[in-house]
Structure 1
Amino acid sequence: MKNFILRDENAVYFESKFSCDNVIFLKLGSDRYFITDARYTTEAKEFAKDCEVIESSNLVETAKEILIKNKIKKITFDPNDFTYALYTNLSKDLKTQFIQEPNFSKQKRIIKSDEEIEILAKAAKHGRKGFKELAKYIRKNGFKKSEQHLFFKGLEKMSQMGKLDLSFDPIIAINENAAKPHALPSKKKLKLNDLLLVDAGVKYKRYCSDRTCTAAVNFENFSFKREQKFKKHKHQKIYDLVYKAQLNAIENAKVGMKASQIDNLTRSVIEKAGYGKYFIHSTGHGVGLDIHEFPNINSKSDVIIEDNMVFTVEPGIYIPNEFGVRIEDTVVMKNGKAIIL
């Protein structure tokens, strides 16, 4: 049984069903300790499961005392979660050996439980509702509004007026700005027949949703549905190609494949059409408590895809100074194949 120490909020939540922004979590054999300060102990005692909550004004010193008291010889930690200063302070004057294991918590979370998948499906449902509300706003009031204004409206509509946290700040990009995969909102204003890309997600019970829609801007029946009719021939051609690539991966992804093979299902379609150099990121990433988890769906990953893995399928084509198209859905592997959440 591995001893480990955690600092990451989502990793701690996964172990105890509660977390906060100042915590050290220790698992030593069958004992588990949630060390936090006085701001959080009341809630921690109420919500943290199967662990002893310890209030401390110096988390590091308290953790060291527990390690010494329990005569812990070895403890695993994720170097990504610790600053150099914190690690140095924690490991100083201790006989305990600290063993680096990058991303060990994310590795534990790579296969979701049925309960987690239900929560992720609800997060996706709330996310879809947010997209519908944003589409409704654009139909009625979006004309001549800037990306910055639409970004603000994206925050409002996706969060359902503040009821839900967002998985990340929405990406809302018009025409040439959509050629930047992580575009920042500008003063550029929305016009008839523009191309609009929106990437957004919400959290439900801390689990994330993630979806990207690219849409043709018309104001009578504007929507984020997958079937889109663009006025510009090139917009339509690239949109149809990206959608074909995405469907190829979703329809043909199978349990037992390597993640790199799923990446190839999108990439090969785009490369065959001559746009390979404009597909500048991986096909997808795992989604869970973190917006980016395992498995990574990229050309180098040898990870074998299994049932109950959850990840995005999001091919894109980005033509600098013209426009970009990305189409993204989050899928779960069930009974050997991919199902859109």
Structure 2
Amino acid sequence: MKRSMDAVHELLQKNRVDAFLVSKRENVRYLSGFTGSAGVILIASSHDYFITDSRYAVQSEQEIAGFHIQVLKKNEKVPERILRLLKKTRIGRLGFEPEDLRFQSFQELRKKISPIRLIPVTAGLESIRMIKSEAEVRKILKAVRRAEEAFKTVRKKIRAGISEREIALSMEGLIRRAGAARAAFDLIVSSGERSAMPHGTASEKRLMQGDLVVVDFGAECGGYFSDMTRTLFIGKRFAGKKRKIFETVLDAQNEAIRAIKPGKYLAEIDATARKMIQKAGFGKYFGHGTGHGIGLEVHELPHVAPKNRMRIREGMVFTVEPGIYIPGLGGVRIEDMVQVTVDGCRVLTTLSKGWKAVEGEV
């Protein structure tokens, strides 16, 4: 936590603000460990405060260390307590998170603390959160294993006749029984022509012979998430265009993973996968970015996308997930999670993904 707070104080200096209001739930948890739903952090030069209401008075004492805990009085609002705390210090500029603070709350806060200026700090903590500590990676790995074990169990049941919804519900139940608070997101199970929808949620459609089946799933551990995708084929003859797009995606993904190294631009990794798909003649069927960061949020920084000139740094954790989606035929996506190392990357996911793993009725 000390490393994180040191980085936050550097962020204050960089943005030339005297104090910083942290309101985004994931950022509050990142800095304090608080798992409740009502709490903000006020970081000033001399003191760091955690502000919550009476519902979380006991919980905050149990979960939080290193902050002066402030419990609101009955009918007291957060801006009023912030004003009281700021009066103890001489500040002129208060940073805030513009992506999280609603306009009404912004107006109320600005009015209450005037003449102190509110200064937007964009993607401040999100940039700090990009670099994962070993403790964070351990939680992510546990979330990966929970999801993988659920998939291994459910995969034995995946055959013609089962519905997409049955697969999703079975996996979600197993993920929870493994200890996760919840699945990482609404699990995606899309088959046949529906597999051409990148985010096709599970329906009552039943799997049929010859279907491609995209299964996108993830679990949780200690507030951290996993996210992975496998594409299966129902049948004994995996051939023709469906097999070609599968092998194209697999080759593109493997090549992109091999290309990951600190110092490269994230756009280079996207381009590696995208060029291979374009070369195979399927470029127009790959419409999304190649990956995204993952941690306290399923989708967070960094973005592995075209034109992203951010450089890859050791400690980043992100997905690599190229796909091809052809309307009327179906789609393929293969997604793994990687941790950037000093000279490359470590693949955190372990499920098999080659065509031999999917050919035949599973």
> Is the structural similarity TM-score above 0.5?
yes
Alignment identity in percent? 34
Match of 2:106 in 1: 87
Secondary structure of residue in 1 paired with 2:157: helix
1:186 to 189, 203, 225: 203
**Residues 1:110 and 2:127 aligned together:** no
Say whether 1:76 aligns with 2:83. no
| Alignment pair present for 1:146 and 2:166 | no
| 1:1-341 pair list within 5 angstroms | 1=9, 2=12, 3-56=19-72, 57=74, 58-94=77-113, 95-138=115-158, 143-160=160-177, 163-217=180-234, 231-341=238-348
Task: Spell out, residue by residue over 1:186-210, the C-alpha distance to the aligned partner (whole angstroms, 9 max, x if none).
Answer: 2211123321111111111111111
Q: Which moved more, 1:242-251 or 1:143-152?
A: 143-152
Say if 1:275 and 1:317, in contact at 8 Å, map to a contact too: yes
Check the 8 A contact 2:194/2:200 in 1, yes or no.
yes
Deviation at 1:51, TM superposition (A): 0.7
In structure 2, what is the Cα distance between the partners aligned to 1:79 and 1:200? 30
**Alignment CA distance shift 1:328-1:288 (3 Å):** same
**Equivalenced residues, count:** 328
Cα separation, 2, equivalents of 1:238 and 1:230: 15
Query: Aligned partners of 1:86 and 1:6: how far apart in 2?
Result: 13
Contact 1:120 1:208 in 2 (8 A): yes
- On the 8 A contact 1:6/1:81 being kept in 2, the answer is no
Unaligned runs of 5+ in 1: 219-228
- Contact kept in structure 2, 1:143 and 1:192, CA below 8 Å: yes
Q: What is the alpha-carbon distance in structure 2 between the residues aligned to residue 37 and residue 75 of structure 1?
A: 22
**Aligned-residue CA RMSD in angstroms?**
1.7
Give the direction of change, closer, same or farther, for the CA distance of 1:5–1:19 in structure 2 (3 Å limit): farther
**TM-aligned CA deviation for residue 161 of structure 1:** 6.3
State the SS of the aligned residue for 1:69. coil
Partner secondary structure for residue 39 of structure 1: helix
Task: Confirm or deny: 8 A CA contact 1:257 1:304 kept in the other structure.
Answer: yes
Superposed CA deviations along residues 153-173 of structure 1, whole A, max 9, x for unmatched, are 232123336644221111111
Contact 1:23 1:59 in 2 (8 A): no
Q: Secondary structure of 1:137's partner?
A: coil
**Which amino acid in the other structure matches residue 144 of structure 1?**
G
> Secondary structure, in 3 states, of the residue corresponding to 2:118?
strand
Runs of 4+ in 1 over 6 A off after TM superposition: none
Gaps of 5+ in 2: 1-8, 13-18, 349-362
Cα shift readout 1:27-83 (whole Å, capped 9, x = no counterpart): 111411111111111111111121122111422321222123323321211101110
CA distance in 1 between counterparts of 2:82 and 2:237 reads: 59
Q: What's 1:224 paired with?
A: none
1:193, 1:5 → 2: CA distance?
Answer: 54
Quote the Cα distance in structure 1 between the aligned partners of 2:36 and 2:86. 22
In structure 2, distance between residues paired with 1:159 and 1:272: 42
Residue 233 of structure 1: how far off its partner (Å): 2.0
Q: Distance in 2 between matches of 1:19 and 1:60?
A: 22
What letter corresponds to residue 46 of structure 1 in structure 2?
A: Q
- Whichever residue aligns with residue 117 of structure 1, its letter is V
Q: CA deviation at 1:304?
A: 0.6
Aligned AA (2:253): Q
CA distance in 1, matches of 2:280, 2:108: 55
How far apart are residue 143 of structure 1 and its match?
4.1
Q: Secondary structure at the match of 2:272?
A: helix
- What are the superposed Cα offsets for residues 222-260 of structure 1, whole Å, 9 maximum, x if unpaired? xxxxxxx75342211110100000000111211110000
1:93, CA displacement in angstroms?
A: 3.7
Are the aligned partners of 1:130 and 1:160 in contact in 2 as well (CA < 8 Å)? no
Q: 1:181 to 1:246 in 2, by over 3 A?
A: same
| Cα distance change of structure 1 residues 165 and 186 upon mapping to structure 2, 3 Å threshold | closer
Distance in 2, matches of 1:159 and 1:214, equals: 23
> Match of 1:172, SS?
strand
Which TM-score applies when normalising by structure 2?
A: 0.86
